[in-house]
Homo-oligomer: A and B are copies of this chain.
Amino acid sequence: MITELANLTAMEVDALTDIDGGLNLTDGHARLPLSAEQAAIVARIPAMFTEASRRAFPDIEREAHAAFLRAVGQHTAPIGTGRILSCYSSTLATDIVARALPTGTTIAVLHPTFDNIADLFTTRGLSLTPLSEAQLLEQDWPGPPVGAIVVTHPNNPTGLVTPEGHLRSLAEHAARHGQTVVIDASFRGQVLAAQYDTYAVLETAGADWIVIEDTGKLWPTHELKIGLLAYSARTGLPIDRAFSESLLAASPVVLQLITALAQDWENGGRVRAAAAVERNRAAVREAVEGAGLHLADPDSQISVARVELPADGPDSSLLYKDLVTRGVHVLPCAPFHWADPESGQRFIRLSLARPSEVVRTGARKLAESYRRLSAQPVVPTG
């Protein structure tokens, strides 16, 4: 039995603030070394400061929206309409959506998914019901009283991409039933298959939609990032009001940084980053296969990987604790299964957007721990 779970971010904070150092393979933030092209962009930040004083903020912001959305294939996003808000992070964007939805609304949220998404909605007084990945793949959409359907695309931690036809079906269903479609596309930039024009699909279906985009998973910019919150002209939700309660504006320096990094992303940056992530995924696969384990989502292209643990061996809680004592931080997956933590007990998530030697060492230590724990009698956890 899982009685009390720390949330995933709290475990990520523990890893980040581990004063003994240790290997941090928890959060999905990019912590790869800067490429030469990225380093050249970072070198221009002081000039971006000067530019931020010289140019009007709306110009700088519109340029960043255009560059970023173009780099991730979103050609019909509502650039320049005032319906794309720049937030400090995708988490803050999600909280603004949660605040704008009427308290007490029942919403369907993809399951499993990053627990923070479910937590933010719950904390704002919404009532959550899970939408499983199987239901999504079967296009089995919930009807009323569900007022909004929240899909992480690609999903975190599984990497599942909602296919274009499935999104169209969801959008048409939502339009028929007066539901709002909320897409969290924070990991989209890493996956070409997720870069079909979501806005065109949603808009053509006549849906009321909200889309969250994130620059924070793509570039190792040490939390200098933006979460974008875009919404359809149809929505009557008080999103602007919730936004103005949270912040005045994103940084025009960060917006300029994003413009430049997005241009580089189209110009080879994406291919370079994807190659590094796939090298690291292969290293994890190899290391864990040596211990008889395998990747749960071998075709995932996002910068995290789940390792599946057999039902007859130590579970993820045991493995997590053992690894922490050895200075390796990973995430046990129970909290991703926010509606049914037990169903996540057999998965461990590792971040891949890290220097290769960090990933390689972490995966090797995971395999060692698993082997050692498997050789011992299994003690139930809880």
* Interface residue ranges, A against B (CB under 8 Å): 7, 9-10, 12-13, 16-17, 19, 21, 27, 29, 31, 33-34, 39, 42-43, 45-46, 49, 52-53, 56-58, 82, 88-89, 91-92, 95, 99, 116, 119-120, 123, 220-224, 240-241, 243-254
Q: Are A10 and B250 in contact (CB under 8 A)?
A: no
Collect the chain B residues with CB atoms within 8 Å of residue A52's CB. Answer: 222
Q: Are A92 and B99 in contact (CB under 8 A)?
A: no
Collect the chain B residues with CB atoms within 8 Å of residue A29's CB. Answer: 248
Collect the chain B residues with CB atoms within 8 Å of residue A244's CB. Answer: 7, 9-10, 13
Q: Are A19 and B58 in contact (CB under 8 A)?
A: yes
User: Complex: how many Å from CA A254 to CA B222?
Assistant: 9
Interface centre among A57, A224, A240, A244 (most CB of B within 10 A): A244
Q: Are A58 and B17 in contact (CB under 8 A)?
A: yes
Q: For the A-B complex with A7-B241, A224-B251 known, give 11 more contacts whose Cβ atoms are closer than 8 Å.
A: A16-B57, A17-B58, A17-B82, A42-B49, A46-B46, A53-B222, A91-B246, A95-B246, A221-B253, A223-B249, A224-B224
Collect the chain B residues with CB atoms within 8 Å of residue A17's CB. Answer: 57-58, 82
Q: Are B246 and A7 in contact (CB under 8 A)?
A: no
User: Complex: how many Å from CA A95 to CA B99?
Assistant: 12
User: Complex: how many Å from CA A43 to CA B49?
Assistant: 9
